[in-house]
Amino acid sequence: MGAPSALRKRSAVKKASSEVKRIGLRIDRRRSYSAGDICKVEHLKALEGAEERLHLCEANLVKEGSFDSVIDACDAVFHTASPVILDNVNDPQVELIEPAVKGTLNVLGSCGKAQSVKRVVLTSSMVTIAFKKPTQNSNPLIDETSFSDPIFAREMERWYVISKILAEEAAFKFAQENGIDLVVMNPGLVIGPLLKPTLNETSQCFLTLITQGKYTYATPGGNFVYVDVRDVANAHILALENSTANGRYCLVAQVLNCSKVLQILREL
Residue 2 domain-assigned (yes or no)? no
Per-residue pLDDT of the chain (268 residues; tens, 9 = 90+): 332 222 235 555 554 444 444 444 444 444 544 454 444 677 777 778 888 877 777 788 889 999 999 898 889 999 987 888 877 889 999 999 999 999 999 999 999 999 899 999 999 999 999 998 877 556 678 899 999 999 999 999 999 999 999 999 999 999 999 999 999 999 998 888 877 777 777 777 777 777 776 666 566 667 788 999 999 999 999 999 999 999 999 999 998 887 787 788 778 7
Residue 201 domain-assigned (yes or no)? no
Residue 197 domain-assigned (yes or no)? no
Residue 78 domain-assigned (yes or no)? yes
CATH number of the domain that 45 lies in? Answer: 3.40.50.720
Residue 59 domain-assigned (yes or no)? yes
Residue 210 domain-assigned (yes or no)? no
pLDDT at 199: 73
pLDDT at 160: 94
Residue 222 domain-assigned (yes or no)? no
How many Cα atoms within 13 Å fall on the side-chain side of residue 75? 12
Residue 193 domain-assigned (yes or no)? no
pLDDT at 126: 95
Range of the domain at 246: 11-188+227-253
- Determine the Cα–Cα distance for residues 95 and 240; give it in Å rounded to an integer: 30
pLDDT at 111: 95
Q: How many domains does the chain have?
A: 1
